Amino acid sequence: MAATSPLLDTLPSIDPATGKVLQSYERTSPLAVPQLLANARAAQQSWAKRPVEERCAQIAILKTKILEARDLLADAVVRESGKPRAEAKFADVFVALDSADYFAKHGASLLKPESVAHHSLAAKAKSGMLFYEPLGVVAIISSWNYPLAIPMGQIVAAVVAGNGVLCKTSDFTPECGELIDKLFRDAGFPADLVTIVQGGGEVGQALIDARPDKVFFTGSVFTGRHVAEACAPLLIPSVLELGGKDAMLVLGDADVEVASSAAVWGSYTNCGQVCLSVERLFVEQSISEVFIQKCVEKTQKLRLGSGSDPNTEIGPLIRPQHVQRMSELLADGVQHGAQVLCGGRPRPDLGPNFFEPTVITGVDSSMKLFQDETFGPIMAIRVVRDAEEAVGLANDTEFALSASVWTGDPERGKGIARRLRAGTVMVNDLISGFAIAEAPHGGCGLSGWGRTHGKAGFLEMVHVKYVDVDRLPRMEKPWWYRYGGDLEKAADAFLKFEFAGGMFARLRHARAAMKTMFRDHGLK
């Protein structure tokens, strides 16, 4: 609901294409956050008692509401993030729908208790089970570049697992936050189970100070460090997705036409404001000339404009300071010997946040374009001798989120993928792994820790409990008191019986080992 509060109590919804304020939304007071979290705890306790099948059925209703509102949602994403409408539907609406569909269908099986097989003879008389229980209330601090896909994928997983959620959507996309709140209300979820809070860093800090059971953060390395530092004294576990410096390796046997099209899309989709976008492109020398030529030709044909124009292929950057940063990164590259082949200029004639998609070659690790996350429409290319050099250079970064390998030999591609330091490596595709519900998303190093999406991400939303039932409840355990020399000898025999090399060696110690099982404790 649009706010009528004073300016300091509101968040502006700004169109990046024009820089105009479209509307203002109520800002959440940091002082209100502890009570909101307490309300979520109360709602979560009832929600967690519902059968998981019932929770999944509620998610199926949510999916229907997302589908019904797809045009309204896409319009809001375009207005606040600036991306073309086709991208809003593919990357935001589709991912939100697919997350809901996946967990509605598979949430119950993901939470199904699992038996634990015991390999040790000492544990054969025990029956072990794993149970997956809710954490409680999780805090989600989300990003503006995919203002629907990122928070929805995490919220859906959290509530299926039986958790309550406080989600701070980006202060750049308050309308999208309001619409997410409305989706859960319209789908009939209990009041206070999912609460959207609006604001900047002060609200994020208040979320952590209120002591949720876990924090999920998506954003910059700089802010991620502050989140980790705020969580640490309180021993709040966290999942951090902090971006990438993703490498694209184009081998000499790759299909140049397809690989160049992929490079163009992978570098510029959402105006390059994608944690998985191509930020370092390594192409083998044997095909480098024709590959670079095709990348330049295809880049020069792209149409810049407002995301609301169906012909637009590249929208604006999110804010003017991002435009300035693109100019600074390119200037640093040129100063160190790189060459801009096309683009490279702001476009104030189109609006305050437009920047031409750019191809720059001769880039190396001395330049900021190969060190810092770019997060903009710049394709930075380096020609390499062979795949070995490409792998070495690709791994020469503190980021480790995603990468791609392009080759006519898929088996060779898989082998190279195994050698790349990244959370996800795609062979002959890129970025779309994020839209595969079963695929985990996340990295290590400066890309953060933990996972979202898929089973690995779902396990971040639960407490794993091991339950052990002894099948011989009337028998005292051989390792209990009374200690003595006889028990030590029997224990040694048992160790040799359990872990000696061959069958005959083990059998030699079997009789003595059994003394650990059948003895008088003498404590009755």
Catalytic residues: 241, 275
Backbone phi, psi, residue 180, to 5°: -65, -45
Q: What does the DSSP assignment read for 493-517?
A: HHHHHHH-SSHHHHHHTHHHHHTTT
Question: Which residues make Cβ contacts (< 8 Å) with residue 201, sequence separation at least 6?
Answer: 223, 226
CA dist 261 and 502 (Å) reads 59
Distance CA 461, CA 137 (A): 10
Residues in a beta bridge with 359: 342, 379
* Residue 448 DSSP symbol: E
Q: Name the nearest CA neighbour of 141 among 82, 74, 226, 83.
A: 226
For residue 418, the number of C-alpha atoms closer than 13 Å in the C-beta half-sphere is: 5
Helix/strand/coil for 357? coil
Sequence length of the chain is: 524
Whole-angstrom distance, CA of residue 36 vs CA of residue 63: 25
Rounded distance between C-alpha atoms, residue 366 and residue 360, angstroms: 15
User: Which residues, in sequence order, are bridge partners of residue 169?
Assistant: 198
Which residue matches tokens 């999920």? 216
d(CA 164, CA 180): 15
If we measure between CA atoms, which residue out of 457, 452, 460, 380 comes closest to residue 143? Answer: 452
User: Shortest CA distance to 79 belongs to which of 178, 156, 181?
Assistant: 178
d(Cα 460, Cα 456) in Å, to the nearest integer?
7
Number of H helices, E strands in the chain: 18, 20
Q: Long-range contact list for 430-433, CB < 8 A, 24+ apart?
A: 430/246, 430/248, 430/262, 430/266, 430/276, 430/278, 430/402, 430/404, 431/266, 431/269, 431/274, 431/276, 431/277, 431/402, 433/276, 433/402
CA 219, CA 16: separation in Å to the nearest integer?
A: 19
Look up tokens 């694209």; give the residue: 248
Strand 402-406, strand 424-427: pairing: parallel
